[in-house]
């Protein structure tokens, strides 16, 4: 299999033209024993548009991945399949996304993704996770997300893995699982986020998660319409315009390779 490895703020993906079995997806995503990645994207077309066929590291299909779609557009650009001047349409399981290349510099490639409108819910619910109870809000930004606001001192990897995993695996509340975002609101213009992703665990960045946080935080009056989302792997810009979410962020080609 010939492939290219891309990173969106440390959220890393294998991109290839080849069809893979679920077993191969899991094998190639395993770190230390194979290539290692948070997911795999298969190059496909659906009618006239490119289609992002996305697998999580555990082999499950994902409807959308914010960091992944930026990397996918970068891959298409590197193969001369799209240009900077195009309005790029990428089909996904959650619908067609409109994308602009902001900067095509080799060492500073930035993409803006129209994430469409989130499911409009600001209903606050409560969930028990191990020895804690959390208030959460659910929304859908191409995939399922819950947003939980916590204090700065709780926003650490140990805390997020411990409680995020328990919430993600609560099938009574979330039959299909969910992505869990823990958020500290620094001020009206900046938030810090750590996400425990369904099918991948704690990752360095989650674009759909940052989009969910930007949307809900603004609806609750916690932030302005444009914010900086600080993630473990770096920063994303999230902006709301007439309830449509725009996610701006970088992508990086790490290396090219092949495996048998």
Q: State the catalytic residues.
A: 65, 206
CA nearest neighbour of 198 among 54, 26, 56, 91: 56
Tell me: is residue 92 an annotated ligand-binding position.
no
Tell me: is residue 135 an annotated ligand-binding position.
no
Tell me: is residue 197 an annotated ligand-binding position.
yes
- What does the alpha-carbon distance between residue 78 and residue 246 come to, in Å, rounded to a whole number? 23
With contact defined as beta carbons under 8 Å apart, do 56 and 200 qualify? yes
Tell me: is residue 207 an annotated ligand-binding position.
yes
With contact defined as beta carbons under 8 Å apart, do 195 and 230 qualify? no
DSSP string, 31-68: TTTSS--SEEEEEEEETTEEEEEEEETTS-B-S--HHH
- What does the alpha-carbon distance between residue 4 and residue 13 come to, in Å, rounded to a whole number? 8
Please, what is the Cα angle at 176 between 171 and 179, to 5 degrees? Answer: 95
Tell me: is residue 187 an annotated ligand-binding position.
no
β-pairing, 2-8 vs 11-16, is antiparallel
Tell me: is residue 66 an annotated ligand-binding position.
yes
Tell me: is residue 179 an annotated ligand-binding position.
yes
Given the structure tokens 């990645």, which residue do they identify?
A: 37
98: tokens are: 């409109």
User: Hey, what's the torsion of the CAs at 23, 34, 260, 7, to 10 degrees?
Assistant: 90
Tell me: is residue 107 an annotated ligand-binding position.
no
- What does the alpha-carbon distance between residue 64 and residue 95 come to, in Å, rounded to a whole number? 9
Tell me: is residue 224 an annotated ligand-binding position.
no
Q: Tell me phi and psi for residue 213, to 5 degrees.
A: -65, -45
Binding-site positions for substrate: 11, 56, 66-67, 179, 197-198, 207-208
């Amino acid at each position: 299999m010939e492939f290219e490895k891309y990173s969106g703020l440390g959220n890393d993906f294998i991109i290839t033209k080849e069809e893979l079995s679920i077993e191969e997806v899991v094998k190639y995503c395993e770190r230390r024993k194979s290539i290692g990645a948070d997911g795999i994207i298969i190059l496909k077309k659906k009618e006239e548009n490119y289609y992002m066929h996305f697998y999580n590291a555990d082999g499950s299909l994902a409807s959308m991945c914010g960091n992944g779609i930026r990397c996918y557009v970068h891959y298409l650009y590197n193969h001369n399949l799209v240009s900077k001047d195009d309005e790029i349409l990428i089909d996904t399981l959650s619908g067609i996304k409109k994308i602009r290349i902001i900067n095509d510099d080799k060492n500073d490639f930035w993409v803006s993704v129209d994430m469409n409108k989130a499911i409009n819910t600001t209903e606050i619910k409560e969930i028990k996770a191990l020895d804690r109870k959390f208030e959460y809000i659910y929304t859908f930004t191409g995939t399922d997300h819950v947003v939980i606001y916590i204090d700065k001192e709780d926003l650490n990897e140990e805390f997020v893995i411990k409680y995020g995993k328990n919430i993600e695996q609560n099938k009574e509340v979330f039959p299909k699982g969910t992505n869990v975002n823990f958020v500290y609101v620094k001020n009206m213009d900046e938030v810090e986020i750590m996400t425990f992703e369904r099918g991948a665990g704690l990752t360095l960045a989650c674009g759909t998660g940052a989009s969910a946080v930007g949307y809900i935080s603004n609806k609750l009056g916690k932030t302005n319409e444009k914010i900086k989302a600080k993630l473990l792997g770096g920063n994303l810009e999230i902006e709301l315009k007439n309830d449509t979410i725009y996610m701006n962020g970088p992508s990086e080609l790490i290396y090219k390779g092949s495996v048998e």
